[in-house]
Homo-oligomer: A and B are copies of this chain.
Amino acid sequence: MRTFPDIRFRDPQVEMAHGAGGKATRRLIEGLFLPLLANPALAALSDAALVDLNGAPVALTADAFVVKPLRFPGGSIGELAVNGTINDLAVCGARPVALMAAFILEAGLPGEALQAEVTAMAEAARRAGVSVAGGDTKVVEHGLADGMYITTFGFGLPDPRLRLGSHEVRPGDRILLSGPIGDHGITILLARGDLDLEADLRSDTRPLTALADALAEAAAPGLRWMRDPTRGGVASALNELAAETGRGVVLYEEEIPVRDEVRGACEILGLDPLHIANEGQLLAVVDPAYAEAALAALRRSAGGEDAALIGEIREDPPRAVLALTRYGGSRVVDMLVGDPLPRIC
């Protein structure tokens, strides 16, 4: 029995926030998973792990989906499970080769509901040109799994043209965003019907492969880092980048695309759109010499028409995200704290 001196996770119990993709999730991963399961692939803490296979890297990723409700405007858990895993590979610069899917089903789930989700997975996989090579099914008693949970694993091949990672990011690099933020999170929130709010919104769930390919094609030598800002939103993804690089991430707040419906719902609920989950947006950091070409490439691609240059990397403030506001002010944008929108994916 080895001892593990680096375990710093002391939270007495698991809370919803540990699954929200913000500070508590980070504390759990860095304080418990990393020290116990330590290895170089895991330590990179990227959306996908790069593992050596006979001298060549392959990309692996795993995601559990527990979204509630199972179906929502614009998508469903099955489609999300396929797209989400494909996207984790895409933002690591990897072409998806195969997926695996494991279902945890609740006894009593109508057969038609299961068929609908397997169909959604099949369609999403076909759209992305990837196969579901296998999987597993477990059933738990009625009352234990809200219909179903789906875990997907993705396996892909890194694009040899790309060198991505927060260690590649330098001051002066520009930050691009593929389109409006918060659609997925607010759609889910409204679909639950707990709030007396309505809006004509749909989840943005989609595969990001084409957008990532377009960026690689237009700007491979200058492409430094990509991420799909899901749980915890753009704010959490960029705070992680700031922490990993030690640099400052400066956002031009008025350049960040947000639909009126999302902005309105966030104002009513006291939420920041930068903290809301997306399932079809891509953040990229590029060398300034490639920023214009990269932005044009995104805007030419389906799903990237509203892409914007939303900020840059600076020396200051170190390890923080600062938003420059409309009227010349600025505010610090923190990681998500707590879990205002549980079970979003």
Q: Which of B39, B122, B123, B141 sits near A133, CB closer than 8 Å?
A: B39
Give the segment of A102-110, A243-251, A312-320 that binds chain B: A102-110
**A135 interface hit (Cβ, 8 Å):** yes
Task: Note all chain B residues with C-beta closer than 8 A to A102.
Answer: 62-64, 151, 153
Interchain CB contact under 8 A, A136 and B64: yes
Q: In the bound complex, what is the Cα–Cα distance between A11 and B111 (angstroms)?
A: 6
Residue A207 at the B interface, CB < 8 A?
A: no
Q: How large is the interface on A (under 10, 10 to 19, 20 to 34, 35 or more residues)?
A: 35 or more
Indicate whether A144 reaches chain B with its CB closer than 8 angstroms: yes
- Cross-chain contact of A61 among B29, B100, B108, B144 (Cβ < 8 A): B100
| Residues A37 and B155 in contact in the complex (CB < 8 Å), given A32-B115, A100-B60 | no
A1 contact set on B, CB distance < 8 A? 123
Bound Cα distance A195, B128 (Å): 50
Within the complex, the shortest CB–CB distance from A146 to chain B, in Å, comes to 6
Query: Considering only CB atoms, which chain B residue lies closest to A85 in the complex?
Result: B136
CB <8 Å contact, A119 and B15? no
A100 near B66 with CB under 8 A, answer no
Cα A190 to Cα B290 in complex, Å, equals 64
Q: Mark A22-60, 1 if CB is under 8 A from B, else 0.
A: 000100110011001101011000101101011000101
12 contacts between A and B (CB under 8 A): A1-B123, A14-B106, A19-B105, A25-B137, A28-B137, A29-B137, A32-B115, A41-B134, A42-B132, A62-B136, A64-B102, A144-B144
Going nearest first, the 7 A-B pairs with the smallest beta carbon separation are A19-B139, A49-B134, A153-B153, A62-B100, A41-B133, A151-B151, A49-B133
